[in-house]
């Protein structure tokens, strides 16, 4: 009989909590932006407790947040079944290509998190230091059975802005995260399903790739909604294993309704049209509790 090592068992248990067993996809909402982007522009999470209170009733699989926010805001939702992904690093507005570690795996364990997440900006002046930090954290996560999620983007000094979503650069991020021992990587959608499928093919099938929402294009609110719904549907159809999204979700006029609708797009295979129709219905009726069960 094959015996599963205890660290691998711990990772498997925690990963299972953040992935829907029916769809084998992951839906996470992140509220970790303030230290990297500044709080003034992040209007949807200036009232962080209020933002979390709107997200949770939509029932995402997981939420990404720092330990400080978890400590002060997550108390009402202990036992909710929503996994906490404990963010331990961020860049800063003054050093946007260098993620610095400020938290720890041990703190994540103490606080009941199901994963640790840390960022990395590749192809820039600080890639080596960030890779070294990831390697150290990855080894310790293996030792204690804690999944490690990477937020990895090709936004270093060598990458022109118009190449930050090229499949070659996104594939480099994804493969690097896998090589460094991470379990899941969050990165940028390449813009079309064929090139994103090429990215996914560059890592073993057991390695999960999820997409961010990213910087919003200059569109009207209705156009922006359809842009992101289409992007999410395309990415999932290309083989992506889920989403970890933030700004466009908690900036929406009815956050709970949007999370409810997105959950069905991701886990039930809803089309963009079906998702929009459900969103309109929930926004009108405000009957959020009727959608707790998927």
Please give the radius of gyration of the chain, using alpha carbons only, rounded to the nearest integer: 18
Are 160 and 187 in contact by the 8 Å Cβ rule? The answer is: no
Active-site residue, 192 included: no
pTM > 0.85: yes
- Confidence (pLDDT) at 140: 97
Out of 25, 32, 87, 189, pick the active-site residue.
Answer: 32
Among 7-11, 138-142, 277-281, which is the least confidently predicted range?
7-11
Question: What is the signed CA dihedral for 60, 64, 67, 72, rounded to 10 degrees?
Answer: -40
pLDDT at position 4: 63
Taking CA atoms, 6 is separated from 12, 18, 178, 208, 283, in Å, by: 10, 19, 21, 21, 45
Residue 66 counted as domain residue: yes
Overall number of domains in the chain: 1
Q: Which of 91, 153, 228, 270 is catalytic?
A: 153
User: In the predicted model, what is the mean pLDDT of the chain?
Assistant: 96
Domain residue limits at 94: 6-291
Q: pLDDT tens across 169-227, in order?
A: 999 999 999 999 999 999 999 999 999 999 999 999 999 999 999 999 999 999 999 99
Residue 255 resides in a domain: yes
* Domain assignment present for 180: yes
> For residue range 113-130, what is the model confidence (pLDDT) as tens digits?
999 999 999 999 999 999
Backbone angles phi, psi at 89, to 5 degrees: -150, 160
* CATH code, 115: 3.20.20.70
Non-local CB neighbours of 250 within 8 Å, separated by 6+ positions: 29, 31, 44, 45, 51, 54, 55
In order, the DSSP letters of 94-106 are TEEEEEEE-S-HH
CA atoms within 13 A on the CB side of 107: 19
Share of the chain above pLDDT 70, in %: 98
Separation of alpha carbons 90 and 28, rounded Å: 18
Active-site residue, 153 included: yes
Residue 1: inside a domain: no
Q: What is the pLDDT of residue 8?
A: 86
In 3D space, the residue among 149, 182, 171 whose CA is nearest the CA of residue 65 turns out to be: 149
**C-alpha distances in Å from residue 168, one per residue of 130, 177, 187, 188, 196:** 20, 14, 13, 12, 10
| Cβ-Cβ contacts under 8 Å for 265 (sequence gap 6 or more) | 229, 232, 233, 236, 272, 274, 275
Instruction: Please tell me the predicted confidence (pLDDT) of residue 142.
Output: 95
Whether 5 shows a pLDDT value over 70: the answer reads: no
Catalytic residue among 11, 186, 189, 252: 186
Residue 103: inside a domain: yes
Instruction: Judge whether residue 17 has pLDDT over 70.
Output: yes
169 or 7, higher pLDDT: 169
**Model pLDDT, residue 66:** 98
In angstroms, how far is the first alpha carbon of the chain from the final one?
A: 36
Q: Angle at which helices 272-285 and 255-267 pack, to 10 degrees?
A: 150
Residue 131 belongs to a domain? yes
Residues 36-51 pLDDT 10s: 999 999 999 999 999 9
Tokens read off for 84: 């906490």
Is residue 197 in some structural domain? yes
Residue 2 has pLDDT above 80, yes or no: no
Say if 81 falls within a structural domain.
Answer: yes
């Amino acid at each position: 009989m094959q015996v599963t090592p205890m660290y691998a068992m711990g990772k498997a248990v925690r990963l299972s909590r953040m992935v829907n067993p029916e769809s084998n996809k992951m839906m996470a909402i992140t509220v970790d932006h303030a230290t990297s982007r500044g709080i003034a522009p992040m209007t949807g999470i200036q009232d962080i407790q209020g933002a979390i209170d709107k997200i949770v009733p939509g029932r995402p699989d997981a939420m990404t947040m720092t330990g400080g926010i978890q400590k002060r805001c997550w108390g009402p939702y202990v036992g909710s079944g929503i996994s906490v992904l404990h963010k331990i690093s961020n860049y800063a507005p003054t050093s946007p290509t260098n993620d610095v570690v400020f938290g720890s795996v041990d703190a994540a364990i103490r606080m009941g998190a199901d994963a640790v997440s840390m960022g990395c900006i590749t192809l820039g002046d600080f890639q080596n230091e960030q890779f070294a930090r990831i390697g150290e954290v990855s080894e310790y996560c293996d030792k204690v059975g804690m999944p490690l999620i990477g937020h990895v983007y090709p936004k270093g000094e060598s990458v022109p802005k118009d190449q930050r979503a090229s499949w070659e650069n996104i594939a480099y991020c994804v493969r690097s995260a896998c090589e460094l021992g991470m379990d899941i990587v969050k990165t940028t959608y390449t813009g079309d399903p064929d090139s994103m499928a090429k990215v996914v093919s560059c890592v073993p099938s057991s390695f999960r790739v999820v997409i961010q929402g990213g910087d919003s294009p200059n569109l009207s609110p209705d156009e922006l909604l359809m842009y992101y719904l289409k992007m999410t549907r395309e990415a999932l159809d290309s083989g992506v294993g889920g989403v970890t999204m933030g700004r466009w979700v908690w900036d929406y006029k009815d956050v709970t309704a949007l999370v409810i609708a997105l959950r069905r797009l991701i886990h039930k295979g809803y089309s963009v049209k079906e998702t929009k129709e459900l969103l309109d219905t929930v926004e009108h009726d405000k009957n959020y509790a009727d959608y707790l069960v998927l």
